[in-house]
Amino acid sequence: MKTLSKENAEQVARHLAMAARLIDEDPALAHEHALAASRRAGRIAIVRESLAITAYSIGDFALALRELRTYRRISGKDDQIALMVDSERGIGRADRALETGRAVDRSKLVTPVRVALAIAMSGARLDQGELELALGELQIPELDPDRAFEFSPALFSAHAAVLEDLGRDDEAAFWAERAEVASDALGLSGDDEEEIIIEDGLIEEEDGPTEEGAS
């Protein structure tokens, strides 16, 4: 926010901090803070990103998508691509959601973003009733039941849900249990970057992975 005056930058920063603090407990109020920040600094990427996230949190998917596109144009980043896909889904455009996700080079995405995109794409497939394709979207290297990162519980849970929809109950139960184990293990760790090895019911902590090691 170097382009803003000192006073304005401080006000914007306060609104963004409040939006981040309130997003879980009071999404509507968080959104009001994000709107206030956008009125003061509408050309700042992080402001548009914050507004998009709060809009998504209150179910205003059209606004979220508009702001995400603006954020992407200003920043040149694809780190919110999964939210763009989900916003298209929220509007009821599963076909556009899939097109949006396919237009991105996944090899250039960092691992957590790539995993989030896989989950969002799977959801879009489910919206279209394509259960097998929804399962296929989740068949990525990070779907490893013996290793857990910050993104693993969501990935494992999504995989379990699709398997349940397919009537593969035993497999669904296995992955649901892996999601719980991963979540519990990560809760014991003070570092989100840490890799957790899950083997024979024991939890071992190892040094955090490099980007290549997480893939």
> What pLDDT is stored for residue 55 in this prediction?
98
Q: What is the DSSP letter of 105?
A: -
Whether the pLDDT of residue 86 is over 90: the answer is: yes
Q: 4 falls in which pLDDT band (50, 70, 90)?
A: confident
The residues that bridge with 196 in the sheet, in sequence order, are 148, 205
Answer CATH for 1-76 from 3.90.226, 1.20.1630, 1.25.40, 3.40.630 = 1.25.40
Please answer whether residues 166 and 130 qualify as being in contact, where contact means their C-beta atoms are separated by less than 8 angstroms. Answer: no
Measure the CA–CA gap between 30 and 53, rounded to whole angstroms: 10
**Rounded mean pLDDT, 32-42:** 95
Please compute the mean of the pLDDT values over residues 52-65 and round it to a whole number: 98
Closest by CA to 94, choosing from 120, 131, 72, is 120
pLDDT in tens, 132-166: 999 999 999 999 999 999 999 999 999 999 999 99
The reported pLDDT for the residue numbered 1 is 67
Q: What are the residue boundaries of the structural domains of the chain, listed by start?
A: 1-76
Q: What angle is formed at CA 83 by the lines to CA 65 and CA 192, rounded to 5 degrees?
A: 150
Residue 198 is predicted with a pLDDT of 58
Average pLDDT, integer, range 167-187 = 94
Contact 152, 181 (CB under 8 A): no
**Structure confidence at residue 199 as a pLDDT band (50, 70, 90):** low
